[in-house]
Amino acid sequence: MPFIYIVPIELEDHSFLETLEVLISDIFHMRTKRGEFKVNLQEVFDARRSQYNSSLVLQQLIANPPRDAEKILGVLDVDLFIPILTFVFGEAQLGGTGAVVSMQRLHNRFYGMAEDRELTARRLLKEAVHELGHTFGLIHCSQPGCVMNSSTYAENIDQKSSGFCPLCQKGIKKEEPPRAAHRLFTFPWWNKKD
């Protein structure tokens, strides 16, 4: 039976993950499993930006997926970027296996405000569902309340729900079992390695 793996990556506080696993399972109607995968964050740190390259985190995360992994969600607490953006809350393979989400900018303390654990948990759920939605083939949605609506700021995350609009719900594509063995990666640099 395939699972959605939830993978903490050098995450100090794991207390958010138990609830996240339950809610992810409810939303995607799939079983979840906690996993420990080898990801070396030092290799993906960009000293000029003082941030971590999320694409390179993804590459390591899905390098050796377990046979029962339908999807893999890495959760970490460092600031992520892709070269064309100042930062990202997360990144995912469109229609692929892997996704990552960072809690760094989901905490109120990042913005100099009093910490609100409940708010952080809600933001983490929304961003985790959003990134996993991409792995199920969904692109950004223009519906304001849909979880697939893109978020540039934490306030954008707060304004949307953790659920899919009817159109996105209908668009979730699950892989057929035989195809699950083939791990496709959509980044050009990944294909060059093979």
Q: Which residues are catalytic?
A: 131
Cross-strand pairs, 53: 81
* One-letter identity of residue 39: V
Residue 100 and residue 124 in contact, taking contact as beta carbons nearer than 8 Å: no
With residue 74 as reference, give the H or E element that holds it: strand 69-76
Alpha helices in 63-116 (DSSP H): none
Residue 73 and residue 24 in contact, taking contact as beta carbons nearer than 8 Å: yes
Q: How many CA atoms lie within 13 A of 92 on its CB side?
A: 27
Q: How many CA atoms lie within 13 A of 99 on its CB side?
A: 26
Residue 6 and residue 33 in contact, taking contact as beta carbons nearer than 8 Å: yes
Q: State how far the Cα of 27 lies from the Cα of 187, in Å rounded to an integer.
A: 27
